[in-house]
Amino acid sequence: MIGCKARFVIVGVAVILISALATIQFQHGLVIVAMLPISQTEAEAKVVDAYLAIYEADIAGAEEVKLRDLSSKLNGALNMTREAQDLERQGRSAEASNLLGKATVACDETIAQARLLREEASRQSFYNRVIAFALAPTLALLATVGLHFGYRWWRRREIEQIFRMEIRLREKSQE
């Protein structure tokens, strides 16, 4: 028989272990996920999620070079799921599961990178819009000031020319 104290100790240790595992899961989720057996359907669903993450980053205006990197990583994961399917057909379930785990890890990494890329692209896109629309009144003001002083300068020159003509006429008449 286990005493009351021992029970508390066991429960306590279990709680500590579970919370430690939960922390690892939270911080290094990919590692734990990779250790669990993954089905073909789950891996395919992950691939779709990763694709959608890349698509959203693309729509947000992410750079083509970075998108190309992410898509090639995802295509690698797609190839792994296909290879896993072949292995499963050959009855090599353990290898198939291992490959699916790797594919899932690649998908998770892709999702995380695509989300960062989307945020970065959204921020950049927002700044570009703000700058573009803030530039409009600034340029308009510069144009107004330029035209105002240009017009004044032109008017003064015109008046000066008229005065000079009048002076010349008077000088001629005096002669």
Partner 1 sequence: MIRFTEDLKRSILIFVSATMIFSMLAYVSVTPRPREQFFQIYVLGETKMAERYYPNNDPNIPVGARVRWYLGATNFMGSTRYAVLKVKLSNSTIDPPNEKDKLPSPSPVLTEYHRVLINNETWQFPLAWKIDSVVKVADYYYLSQLTINERNVQPQLVYAKNGYNYRIIIELWTLDPVDKHLIFGWGTGTERKVAWLQIWFNATLPRSS
Cβ distance to partner 1 smaller for residue 64 or 175: 64
Least gap, CB of 162 to partner 1 (angstroms)? 19
Least gap, CB of 115 to partner 1 (angstroms)? 15
Closest to 50 measured CA to CA, from 92, 117, 106, 4? 106
Alpha helix segments (H runs only) across the chain = 4-27, 29-35, 40-59, 64-89, 93-174
Taking each helix axis as running N to C, give the angle between helix 40-59 and helix 93-174, from 0 to 180 degrees, rounded to the nearest 10: 0
Least gap, CB of 113 to partner 1 (angstroms)? 14
Cβ distance to partner 1 smaller for residue 36 or 130: 130
Least gap, CB of 29 to partner 1 (angstroms)? 22
Cβ distance to partner 1 smaller for residue 12 or 137: 137
Q: Which residues bind partner 1 (CB under 8 A)?
A: 47-48, 51-52, 54-55, 58-59, 64, 67-68, 71, 74-75, 78, 82, 86, 128-129, 132-133, 135-137, 139-141, 143-144, 147-148, 151-152
Closest to 42 measured CA to CA, from 118, 96, 112? 96
Q: Which residues contact 31 (CB under 8 A, 6 or more apart)?
A: 24
CA pair distance 100, 106, nearest whole angstrom: 10
Cβ distance to partner 1 smaller for residue 127 or 163: 127
